[in-house]
Amino acid sequence: MVARDVSENALTTLKVRAARAGQSLQAYIRQLLEAEATTLTPEEAVDQARTIAARSTVTAEDTLAAIAEMRQARQ
């Protein structure tokens, strides 16, 4: 894997960070890419939340009732 057109400043920063982490530059960048790939974008998170909500049988009224019950239990 080769990244082209990376500025010298960015490359130097990544090399320093990799060294501080005790990793090779390749391992450090692989870790960054893996983390980025597993992190949902805001749009993906919204889509996932909508999918989960569509399968749910819990209504807004159910949620409000549960909140009210918890508040009463604290009093």
Task: Look up the pTM and report it.
Answer: 0.61
* In contact, 15 and 22? CB cutoff 8 Å: no
Nearest to 53 by CA among 6, 62, 69, 14: 62
Q: Where are the domains of the chain?
A: 8-38, 42-74
Report pLDDT for 75: 87
Report pLDDT for 3: 75
Extract the residue ranges of the chain whose pLDDT is less than 70.
Answer: 1-2
The percent of the chain in helix, strand and coil, each rounded to the nearest 5, is: 75, 0, 25
